Amino acid sequence: MFKGEEWNISFAGCGFSSLYYLGALSCILEHAPHLVRLASKIGGASSGCLVAACLVVGIPIGEFLCVLLGGVQDSLLRYLPPDAHLWASGRLCVSLTRLSDGENLLVTEFDNREELIQVLLCSCFFPLYCGVTPPSYRGVRYMDGALSNNMPLHDQRNTITVSPFCGEADICPREGGLGVLAVHYGNLGIRVSQLNVKRIYRSFFPPEPLAEMSHNGYMDALRFLRRNGEIVLIAELGSSCLFVRNMEI
């Protein structure tokens, strides 16, 4: 896949539905880790930028739960290493929405660890839900990056897009809707469906079926890898699957 070319990975913002990414990334890291290791840039908006930051800085994906379900600022202060900004600069892409005019800003360079944390907090700040006064970055106030660009890097060649909502992303649930892609939210197209409504609801409240959401992410990523020749399915028995790697990887 993408032989001789560069590629990026982008994660849509989705609040607590980001638990879907735990499964998707577990699958990718198990069967095609080079997709993460060799990606030119890894981007995200809102909660998606936390996933991207974990991958770029090297925080184990399982510990991402502590960032998502715990206090975001406290978790970032705890888990981001002192040189996190050095790992992130040039490779991490964070989407921000400027409070004054709603314009989008993509940040890829970070002067220090504190600035990296501030950028991540700005991207995750959903108005009212997270408070009244948005945080600031370099003296300017920003809010949830998903409001203006929920899929950073989507317009660049060979960007692998990931979303827990059924729609246009490369890795996402596949199911029927009401016919067409009817809603575009910050460059992310999603289907109008009852299940997507439930997923949006789960984005704002910690979901109960954690294992189910993670499992769905794993299987959707698995389908993407198979479709693009990263792995070949040789047997499937119930929920148990046996795999053999593509010899060209």
- CA distances to 192, 193, 246 from 180, rounded to whole Å, are 8, 10, 34
Residue with tokens 């990523």: 221
List for the chain the helix, strand, coil content (%; round to 5).
40, 20, 40
193 a catalytic residue? no
Catalytic residue (choose from 47, 75, 144, 220): 144
144 a catalytic residue? yes
* Residue 127 exposed, middle or buried by CB count within 10 Å (0-12, 13-18, 19+): middle
Question: Which DSSP helix (H) or strand (E) runs through 184?
Answer: strand 183-185
d(CA 113, CA 70): 20
Catalytic residue (choose from 10, 17, 18, 46): 46
Catalytic center residues = 46, 144
